[in-house]
Structure 1
Amino acid sequence: MVFLKVRYRRRAAVALAVMIWGVSFFLHFFWEMVQVPFFTDMTETRHWDVVWLCTRATIGDANVAVGAYAVAAWISRDWFWAVGGWRRTSLSVYLAVGLIVTILFECWATGEGDRWNYSELMPILSWTGTGVLPLAQWALLPLVTILIVKWMFVGWSMLRAK
C-alpha cells in the first residue's frame, strides 16, 4: 500500500511540474509576443523569425518558472505547496527567484551579452537598467500560473482518484 502512495506521489509531482512548465510557457509566449514593439528592430523582423525568437525566450521563461518553483519547494520542504494552502514564504521565494533571474539576465542581455535592446517605448527602471515590462511579466505571470495550475491539478487529482 505504501508503494502505491509513493508511486502516485511521484506521478503527481511530475504532473505538477509539467503543468507549471506548460501553463508558464503559454502565458509567457503570449506576453513575449505582445511586448515585441518594446524591443528594437522586432517590428521590422520577419514574422517567423519573431515567433522563433519569442519561442526561445519562452522556453527559458518556462524553465525559470519551474526552477523558481523548485527553489520555493526546497525551502518550504513541500513540492505541492502551490496546490495546497499557500505559505507566504513559498510564494515570496517563487516570485523573488524569478525576478532576480530576470533582472540579472536582462542586465546581461542588454549590456555585455548584446542580445537585444529596448525601443524608446520601453519604460526602464533607472537603478537596474531593466525594462519595466519584463519585470511586470515576472511579477504577474507566476501568480496567474500558480492559480491556473492549482485549478488544473485539483481536476487532475480528482480524475486520478476515480
Structure 2
Amino acid sequence: MVFLKVRHRRRAAIALALMIWGVSFFLHFFWEMVQVPFFTDMTEARHWDVVWLCTRATFGDANIAIGAYAVSAWISRDWFWGVGGWRRTSLSVYLAVGLIVTILFEYWATGDGEKWNYSELMPVVTWTGTGVLPLAQWVFLPLITVLVVKWMFLGWLTLRAK
C-alpha cells in the first residue's frame, strides 16, 4: 500500500480495522443465529433472549477476528496485508489464531465454564470436543471477511482519491 501517503496511513488503518470488525460482526451474527438449533435449550428460549445471546457471542467473534488479523499483521509487519496481495503466511496465521482461540474457548465454555452445551444435532470433533460448526465458522467467515473488506477498502480508497 505504498500509494497511501504517510499522513493518510493512520486514517486508512483505522478505516480498515473498522471494516474488518464490522463485516466480521455482520457475518458472525448471521452464523450464530443459523446455528441456534445446534445448542441445547436455544430453540425453546424466547426470541429476544436468543438474539441477545447471539449478539453477545458475536461481539466476542468480531473481537477475535480483529485480534487474529492484528496478530497476522504484526507477524507479517503489514497492517494492510488483507487488502493487498495475500501471503500464505498472513492468511494462515489469521485463520490459525481464530481457530485456536475458538477451540480453547469452546472447550472452556462447554466444560468448566458451563456457558452452553451442544445439542445432539451438533457434530463434534472428538479429539477437541469442539463442535464442527464453530470450527467451520472460523475457516469460512474470516476468508469471506477478508474478501469483502478488500473490496470495500479499495472502494473507500477510490472515493478518497476523488
AA at the equivalent of 1:142: P
Identity of aligned residues (%): 85
1:26 maps to amino acid = F
Show structure 1 runs of 5+ residues with no match: none
Q: CA deviation at 1:7?
A: 2.5
**1:121 Cα deviation (Å)?**
0.1
Report the AA paired with residue 90 of structure 2.
S
Whether 1:41 aligns to 2:73 is no
Q: Does 1:91 align with 2:91?
A: yes
Runs (4+) of structure 1 moved beyond 3 Å?
A: none
**Aligned letter for 2:157?**
S
Q: Which runs of 5+ in 2 are unaligned?
A: none
Per-residue CA distance 1:18-71 (angstroms, 9 max, x = gap)? 000000000000000000000000000000000000000000000000000000
1: CA distance, partners of 2:16 / 2:24: 12
Q: C-alpha distance in 2, partners of 1:124/1:7? A: 49
Distance 2:106 2:64 in 1: 13
In the TM superposition, what whole-angstrom CA distance separates every residue of 1:66-114 from its partner, at most 9, and x where no partner exists? 0000000000000000100000000000000000000000000000000
Whole-angstrom distance in 2 between the partners of 1:121 and 1:68: 29
Measure how far apart 1:143 and its partner are. Answer: 0.1
**How many residue pairs end up in the alignment?**
159
Q: Return the TM-score normalized by structure 2.
A: 0.97
- 2:101 equivalent in structure 1: 101
Structure 1: distance between partners of 2:135 and 2:103: 7
Cα drift, residue 5 of structure 1: 2.6
2:73 is aligned with 1:55 = no
1:124 aligns with 2:111: no
Which deviations, in whole Å up to 9, do the C-alpha atoms of 1:118-141 show, x marking residues without a partner? 000000000000000000000100
- Considering only aligned residues, what root-mean-square deviation do their CA atoms show, in Å? 0.8
* TM superposition score normalised by structure 1: 0.97
- 1:1-162 to structure 2, matched below 5 A, reads 5-162=5-162
Range with bigger deviation, 27-36 or 4-13: 4-13
Amino acid at match of 1:67: G
